[in-house]
Amino acid sequence: MDKEMKRTTGCQAYANTRFLYYINEIRSAVLIVHGEKAHSRYFGESAFRYMMDGKAEGYDFARKPNPVPENQQLLIVPGASHCDLYDGGGKGLIPWDNIEEFLKKNLKR
């Protein structure tokens, strides 16, 4: 065949998985960091809400609230986009102090 083969990548395969199904049972420390302007911010906020209270938008079930809510945190970084938080974006927006504080508080030596 002489036709050029085109491929598309995406995250559609994950849309049908239940990777959030038991998130409310996590007892380990969890820090979810999103930029205020990130296109995926809604997902982190939804996951955090479900992790804390056991109710998720778009799911037809409700679970019990998280048994250890004090070691879980959602951090929204003002002015940051998605890319600013993994490569710095040259803007110095990665919240190193907040991350260090969370780790010191929640990791045992």
Predicted structure pTM score: 0.75
CA atoms within 13 A on the CB side of 86: 4
84 within 8 A of 93, measured Cβ to Cβ: yes
Q: How far is CA 72 from CA 24, 48, 51, 59, 68, in A?
A: 11, 8, 9, 22, 8
pLDDT in tens, 20-57: 778 888 899 999 999 999 988 988 898 898 889 887 66
70 within 8 A of 23, measured Cβ to Cβ: no
User: Does residue 105 carry a pLDDT above 90?
Assistant: yes
Pull the structure tokens for residue 52. Answer: 């804390």
pLDDT in tens, 53-103: 887 666 666 678 888 889 999 999 999 988 888 776 678 899 999 999 999
Residues across the chain = 109
Round to whole Å and give the CA distance between 52 and 71. 10
57 within 8 A of 77, measured Cβ to Cβ: no
52 within 8 A of 65, measured Cβ to Cβ: yes
